[in-house]
Amino acid sequence: MNTIWLNSKTKIPSMTNMAINRERLHQLLKKGHSTKLTIVQAPGGYGKTTILSQWINQLDEPRSWYSIETLDNDPIRFWKYVIQSVSDTLNNDLDTRLFPLFTSHPPAPYELIIDSFLNELSAVKENLHIVLDDYHFIDHPLIHEMMIRFIDYLPNNTRVYLLSRTSLSLPIARWRVKSWLTEIGFKQLCFTYEEVEALYKKKNLVLNGDKLYQDVLDITEGWVAGIQLASLSIATDELDVSRFDGSHPFVAEFLMKEIFEALSPAIQDFLLQTSVLNMLDPKVCNSLTNRTDSYDVLVELVEKGVFTVRMSLKNPVFRYHQLFADALQTEMRNKYHEEQVKAIYQKAGTLLCENGDYISAIELVIQQQIYDLADSWITTYLVDIFTSGQITTLVRWVDTFREVKFPLPFETIVMYTIALTAIPDLQKAKQIIDELEHRHKFDQWMDHPDHQGVVSILTTLKAYVLMAIGDDKEQVAEIILKQLQKGRVSSRWDHIPMQYNQFEAKISRTLIGSKGKFSSVDESIAFANFFQQTEFKEQNMMGFSYAVLAEILYEANLLEEAFQEIEGGLQYAFRFQDSGLSIPLYILKSRIYMAKRQFAAAQAVLDHAMQGVTEWYWIRSLQAMKAHGYLMESDIKKAETELFKMKRPETFKIELGQEFWLLVYVRFLLAINDVQKALSIAIRVKEKSLNEDQISTIIEASLLEARCYMKVDRLELAFTAIHKAMELGASYGYKRIFLDEEDIIPLVKKYETFRKKDSNEIFKSVPLSFIEELLRTSNKITDESIKERLTPRELDVLQLLAKGISNREIASQLFLSEGTVRVYLTTIYSKLEVQSRTQAILLVKEWNF
C-alpha cells in the first residue's frame, strides 16, 4: 500500500458567492508578475486564502495549489505534495519522473530533488503559478533550506506565492534587496469602508446608517474575520458594537456564544466531533457522527458562511477555518469528559486508517497520547511509511515514544536508526545501535528466531554507520565478512530496492566505495572473489562490487583487468536498469581509452552512454568527461562546447556531485591560462572534499592546485599541494590519478629531488619508494605510448634526433634524403604534440627514452 495523497490538498479552494471583489489587492498581486515570490503574511482571519484563490482562479495560466497542514512538516511529504500539485496542473508525468528520488534508499540529497524539479520547471513553456497556503505550519529546517534553494534558482517562467500567519524563516531581506519579492501584509488585507459596505450588502445585511458601517470597521480594525463574525451576529440580532473590544482573543468566546450556541444541539455535536479532522470527507463524517447527511450539513455551513470552506467544487471535501477548528476543539474538551474525547479521536483515527490515510491516523492518535494504537499501526504500515520516504515523520514519532519511554518493537527501532542515518544523524544512529547491543546482553533478543531478519539489517547498518563516521576500518571489514559468511536472512524488507549511487560519476565517492579509501589490490580481488560466491551474487550490490574493484584496478594501472570488471558490472547495471552503476562504469571505460590515447573510442563510449539518459545530473557528468577528453587532445573549443551545453553550474557553490564538472572546468581554465580562477575553484573543491573525507577528490583537486602553482612559478606551494596528494595516494594505492594529470610527472621529479635534499619530518609521510614507483611507471607508460604512436622508422629518427645530430646526419645514417627526414620529423612532432625540434628533444630526455 502506498501513502494516500489527498487530492483535496492540491485543489484551489472554491469561493462562495458571498466573496466580494477586492480589485486593489488584485492589482498588488498583478505587480507580483515581475517578481519571483509573493508573500502574503498576516494573522489568522485576514482573508489570505480567499484573496489568493480569487486571484489565482482568474488567471489564464497553469496554477497549482497546496494546502499545508501540521502533518506536512516532513521534507519528503512536503515536496511530494508540491510536485504532485504542479504535475496535476500541467497534466504531465512530472511526478512519475521525480518521485523515485523520494523513495530511494539512502534518500536523495535535497539539492538533487530541488535541482531536478527546477530543471523540469524550466522546460515548461507557459508561465506557472505555485501557491503554498499556510506555510506557517512548516518549521523543519531542511524544508526551509530546500525552499531557499528553490526560490534562489527559480526559472523565469515560475511564480511562487507563500501564505503565512507568521514571519518566515527565509532570507526575506536578501530577496527584497534583489527585487525578487512582492509583499502583502495585514495592513493591505484589512477591509476598507467600501469593502465592508459591499460585503454586507451582498449578504443583504443593510445597516441603519453609514455610521454603523464605520463602527464595524473601527471596532474590528478592518479584520476580515471580525467583520464576518459581526455579519453573522447581525443576521439574527441588531449589531451591538459594545461586544467588540478591537482585540482578537475574543474570537473563540464570540464564535461559541454568538455562532455555535445559535445552532441546534445535533449540529453542535457534529461540529465538535468533526473538528478533530483536518479534511472533512462527508463519508468519514457520517461514520464518525453516526449521521447520513454530513454532506448537506457541510454545504449549509458553507452557504451560511460559518467558517467552513469547500476545498473543491468537483470533490465533496471541506475544512473548517483554523480559528473555528481551534475554538471547536477547546469547546469539545470543555463539554465532553476525557474518555469521550479519547473515544472520538480513536474512532476518527480508525476511520482514517481504514480509508488508507494511516499517516494522518497515526498522527491524530499520537497527539492524544493513544500510543498503543499508534504503535500497532506503525508496525503494520512500517514498510510503507519507510518506502514512501517519510522518514522524518517516523523519526519524530519514535522520538515521542522514546520521550515517554513507551516500549517499541525492535523492527521499528532498527528502521528508526536507518532513518537517522538518512537525515543524517550518524552519531545518534550509533548511539541507538549501541543501546540495542547493550540490551541484548540482558535479554538476548538477537537470538530469537523471529528477530533474525531485523538482526541481519542491524548488523549491516552498523557497518554502514561505522564506515560513514570513519571508525575502525578493520572492524567494518570483519562485520561485512561475517555477514557474507552467514548469508542472507529473509524478511519483509527484501523487496525494497537499494540505490548505492544516486549522482556520483565515481563509485569511489559513495559509501559503498568507502569514499575512496581503497584496500590493496590483492585484498580487493580476494574479497570480490569471495563475495561472488555468496548468496548475494544475484543482488544489485554485486554490480557495485565489480565497479569498486574496477576503480581500484584502474588506479593500480591494471587497465585490462579493470576493463574486465567494468564489463561484469555493466551486466548488473543493465539487469537492474541502474544508472548509478552504468554511468560511472561508462565514464571509467572512457577513461581507460583516454589513458591509451584512443580518444575516438572514448568519445564513442560516452556517446553510447548518453543514449536514453534523461537525468540532467548524469548528462552533466557525461558532458564533463567528453570535455576532459577533448582537453587531453588539446581541442579547447570542443571542450568548451561540451562543458557549457547545459547551464553553467554556480562555481561558488560546490554542491550535488558538482566536483566532477568543476575539476574538468579547472583544467579548461588552465588551458586558457585563467590560472587564478582555476586555483580558487581547485582550493574550494579540495576544502569541501577534506570536510567530507572524499579521498579521490582530495587527491585530484590537490594535483590541480599544484598545477596552478607551477603555472605561476610558486614551486614551494606546488610541493605542499602535491605532497598532500601523494600522502593519500601512497596510503590508499592511487597511482593512475597522478599519471593521467598533465604536467604532474615533471613536478613529481622535482619533488623527488627536493625530498632527497630536505630532511623536514613533515614530508617524510610520503615514502620515497612511492615516488620512485610513480616515475618508473610513468617512464614505462611513456615508452609504450611512444612505441604505440610511432612507426619503427619514426622511432629510429626520434632516437637519432635525441642525440642532437643534424637532419643531414640522420639522413646519412638511415640512408634517407633530407627531405624525407623533414617529413618524418613533421609527423613525429604532430604525434608527440610538440611544436619544434627543441621541444621534442627536451621531451625525450625528460622521458629517459
Q: Are 722 and 702 in contact (CB under 8 A)?
A: yes
| Pair (149, 58) in one structural domain | yes
Q: Which of 569, 571, 550, 572 is nearest to 561 (CA)?
A: 550
Q: How many CB atoms lie within 10 A of CB 351?
A: 20
Segments of the chain scoring below 70 in pLDDT: 1-5, 16-18, 105-106, 204-211, 219-221, 232-255, 257-258, 470-473, 488, 497, 533-536, 648-657, 759, 781-788, 845-849
Q: Residue 413: what residue type?
A: I
| Pair (122, 232) in one structural domain | no
User: Is 178 part of a structural domain of the chain?
Assistant: yes
Q: Would you state the cell numbers that stand for residue 675, as one nine-digit string?
A: 590560472
Give, for 132, the enclosing helix (H) or strand (E). Answer: strand 128-133
| Pair (69, 201) in one structural domain | no
| Pair (811, 798) in one structural domain | yes
Please state, in angstroms and rounded to a whole number, the distance separating the CA atoms of residues 837 and 829: 8
Coil, strand or helix: which one is 309? Answer: strand
- Give residue 528's pLDDT: 79
Q: Are 848 and 779 in contact (CB under 8 A)?
A: yes
Q: How many CB atoms lie within 10 A of CB 673?
A: 9
- Give residue 302's pLDDT: 86
- Give residue 205's pLDDT: 67
Strand partners, 38: 161, 182
Q: How many CB atoms lie within 10 A of CB 574?
A: 12
Q: Would you state the cell numbers that stand for residue 684, as one nine-digit string?
A: 574550494
| Pair (79, 178) in one structural domain | yes
Please state, in angstroms and rounded to a whole number, the distance separating the CA atoms of residues 119 and 656: 14
User: Is 183 part of a structural domain of the chain?
Assistant: yes
User: Is 41 part of a structural domain of the chain?
Assistant: yes
DSSP 193-204: HHHHHHHHHHTT
**Strand pairing category for 63-67 and 37-41:** unpaired
Q: Would you state the cell numbers that stand for residue 372, as one nine-digit string?
A: 498503543
| Pair (100, 149) in one structural domain | yes
Q: 818-832 vs 807-814: helix axis angle to the nearest 10? A: 110
Query: Which of 189, 211, 235 lies at the terminal end of a domain, its last residue?
Result: 189
User: Is 763 part of a structural domain of the chain?
Assistant: no
| Pair (197, 116) in one structural domain | no
Query: Which of 189, 205, 225 lies at the terminal end of a domain, its last residue?
Result: 189
Q: Are 80 and 393 in contact (CB under 8 A)?
A: no
Q: Are 642 and 627 in contact (CB under 8 A)?
A: yes
User: Is 478 part of a structural domain of the chain?
Assistant: no
Question: SS in 3 state form for 420-456?
Answer: HHHCCCHHHHHHHHHHHHHHHHHHCHHHCHHHHHHHH
Q: Would you state the cell numbers that stand for residue 63, as one nine-digit string?
A: 496554477
First to last CA, the chain: 68
- Residue 112: CATH number of its domain: 3.40.50.300
| Pair (81, 199) in one structural domain | no
Q: Number of C-alpha atoms within 13 angstroms, CB side, residue 51?
A: 30
Q: Number of C-alpha atoms within 13 angstroms, CB side, residue 425?
A: 13
User: Is 801 part of a structural domain of the chain?
Assistant: yes
Q: 410-422 vs 391-403: helix axis angle to the nearest 10? A: 130
- Domain containing 113 equals 7-189
Q: Which of 633, 624, 563 is nearest to 594 (CA)?
A: 633
Q: Would you state the cell numbers that stand for residue 275, as one nine-digit string?
A: 473538528
Q: Which of 342, 294, 292 is nearest to 317 (CA)?
A: 294
| Pair (797, 811) in one structural domain | yes
246: left (phi over 0), alpha (psi -120 to 50) or beta: left
Query: Would you state the torsion angle of the CA atoms of residues 737, 742, 743, 749, taken in this order, to the nearest 10 degrees?
Result: 30
User: Is 433 part of a structural domain of the chain?
Assistant: no
Question: SS in 3 state form for 202-222?
Answer: HCCCCCCCHHHHHHHHHHHCC
Please state, in angstroms and rounded to a whole number, the distance separating the CA atoms of residues 674 and 668: 9
Number of domains in the chain: 3
Entry field: residues in the chain: 849
| Pair (57, 182) in one structural domain | yes
Residues with Cβ within 8 Å of 813's Cβ and at least 6 positions away in sequence, in order, are: 800, 805
**Cell 450556541 belongs to residue:** 261
Q: Are 686 and 702 in contact (CB under 8 A)?
A: yes
How far lies 445's CA from each of 362, 407, 410, 441, 455, in Å? 27, 14, 9, 9, 9
Give, for 66, the enclosing helix (H) or strand (E). Answer: strand 63-67
- Sequence-separated contacts (24+) of 490-498 with Cβ below 8 Å: 490/453, 491/452, 491/453, 491/454, 491/456, 491/457, 492/383, 492/453, 493/383, 493/453, 493/457, 496/105, 496/383, 496/386, 496/387, 497/105, 497/540, 498/105, 498/540, 498/541
Coil, strand or helix: which one is 322? Answer: helix
Query: Taking the model in full, what pTM does it have?
Result: 0.76
Residues with Cβ within 8 Å of 757's Cβ and at least 6 positions away in sequence, in order, are: none
DSSP count for the chain of H helices, then E strands: 42, 7
| Pair (150, 12) in one structural domain | yes
User: Is 239 part of a structural domain of the chain?
Assistant: yes
How far lies 489's CA from each of 252, 445, 450, 454, in Å? 57, 16, 11, 9
Please state, in angstroms and rounded to a whole number, the distance separating the CA atoms of residues 20 and 387: 45
Q: Are 583 and 622 in contact (CB under 8 A)?
A: yes
Q: Which of 206, 196, 259 is nearest to 233 (CA)?
A: 259
Please state, in angstroms and rounded to a whole number, the distance separating the CA atoms of residues 813 and 805: 10
| Pair (157, 13) in one structural domain | yes
Query: Which of 161, 189, 217 lies at the terminal end of a domain, its last residue?
Result: 189
DSSP 280: B
Please state, in angstroms and rounded to a whole number, the distance separating the CA atoms of residues 651 and 584: 23
Q: Would you state the cell numbers that stand for residue 290, as one nine-digit string?
A: 453516526
